[in-house]
């Protein structure tokens, strides 16, 4: 595989990058039922799976004829490229920060009752869960209606 082939393959796999970190945080959070990470993880991983399926679909519809199973997996025939949208990049950053903060909170026994500068840290964390959930939905929709997430190569 050439460097360009690897770049195209990575562009199709980028939808699954945050799933591993989210999955490990949720596995750890199973021991603390006060953390609502399971619904958030379902949202994040569900969006990532749908993006992965859509990447496979775009690869199929953009593949030049004749279409075959062997040609579909031949990455020397670039046909579509998935590019992260700006909100998707922001969402990934927020997801990783949230996972780090949540796991850090679990390491110190939770943020419940901790106050810094008059602000209760547990409430900040809960707000961050809502922000990440919202940006996850927003980033998923940006691929559908934004028009810039997928580029069909070779078409003008």
Span 1-13, pLDDT tens digits: 566 555 555 555 5
Residue 91: pLDDT band (50, 70, 90) is very high
How many domains does the chain fold into?
A: 1
What's the token pair of residue 82? Answer: 């998935």
The pLDDT of residue 31 is 53
pLDDT score of 94 more than 90:
yes
All residues at 6 or more sequence positions from 114 whose CB lies less than 8 Å from its CB, including other chains: 120, 121, 122
All residues at 6 or more sequence positions from 22 whose CB lies less than 8 Å from its CB, including other chains: 40, 41, 44, 45, 95, 99
What's the domain range around 116?
3-152
Q: How far apart are CA 87 and CA 149, in angstroms?
A: 11
pTM of the shown model: 0.69
Residue found under tokens 């209760």: 120
Q: How many CB atoms lie within 10 A of CB 107?
A: 9
- Supply the DSSP symbol for 16: G
């Amino acid at each position: 595989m050439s460097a360009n082939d690897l770049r195209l393959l990575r562009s199709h796999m980028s939808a699954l990058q945050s799933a591993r970190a989210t999955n490990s945080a949720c596995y750890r959070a199973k021991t603390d039922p006060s953390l609502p990470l399971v619904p958030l993880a379902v949202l994040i991983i569900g969006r990532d799976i749908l993006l992965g399926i859509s990447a496979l679909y775009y690869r199929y519809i953009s593949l030049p004829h004749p279409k075959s199973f062997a040609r579909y997996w031949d990455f020397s025939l670039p046909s579509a490229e998935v590019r992260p949208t700006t909100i998707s990049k922001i969402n990934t950053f927020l997801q990783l920060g949230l996972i780090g903060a949540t796991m850090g909170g679990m390491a110190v026994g939770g943020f419940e009752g901790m106050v810094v500068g008059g602000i209760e840290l547990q409430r900040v964390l809960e707000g961050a869960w809502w922000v990440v959930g919202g940006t996850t939905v927003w980033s998923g929709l940006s691929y559908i209606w934004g028009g810039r997430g997928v580029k069909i190569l070779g078409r003008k």
